[in-house]
Amino acid sequence: MKAPIQSLVGQNITDVHGMGIFRNVAMLDVEKIGDESYLQLPLLGISMVLPDGETISAVHLHASGHEGYSEFQGELPAGIVFAMSREEARARLGNPAQCGDGCRVLLLGPRPAWDAFIVDGQRLHLEYSEDNQSVRLITISAATV
């Protein structure tokens, strides 16, 4: 069963304003950066990507302190919790469809380990803490073939 937050992917931003977690948000200000648009709600622990400025293509759920965000307090997809280690997430969700180990990238610094799973017809991308002992970011998007 999908978590309610998963239903945002593919929705028009005007259709979700005033609903659910956005009920007490006065205005949803979409910010255009380059060719894409973003909506950032740090106090709710959520950010979104809107490539056309209207349609939500990805939802980012942040753990406490990740990129200055508060922790997302809603139900997470597939029974994931931010306190799960990489090993626990894989035990719960199975083998990832894609994965990457943490590394250091010249000029960009450390890049975290991550796993991508296909769950409920969507892609769940989990980014882990440096020690792989917790999830710090969950990205929900459409599954691609």
Give the pLDDT confidence of 111-145 residue by residue, as tens digits.
789 999 999 899 999 999 999 999 999 999 999 75
pLDDT at 15: 85
Closest CA to 44 of 12, 16, 21, 17: 21
pLDDT at 51: 93
Closest CA to 78 of 48, 22, 128, 117: 117
Where along the chain do its domains lie? 4-142
Single-letter residue type at 55: T
Distances (CA, A) of 90 to 29, 124, 135: 36, 12, 12
State how far the Cα of 145 lies from the Cα of 132, in Å rounded to an integer.
27
Residue 25 has pLDDT above 90, yes or no: no
Count of all residues that appear for the chain in the document: 145
State how far the Cα of 50 lies from the Cα of 33, in Å rounded to an integer.
11
pLDDT at 28: 67
pTM for the model stands at: 0.90
Residue 109 contacts by C-beta under 8 Å, 6 or more apart in sequence?
none
Distances (CA, A) of 54 to 4, 57, 63, 117, 121: 19, 9, 25, 26, 22
Q: What is the pLDDT of residues 44-80, one digit of tens each?
A: 999 999 999 889 999 999 999 999 999 999 999 999 9
* Average pLDDT taken over every residue of the chain: 89
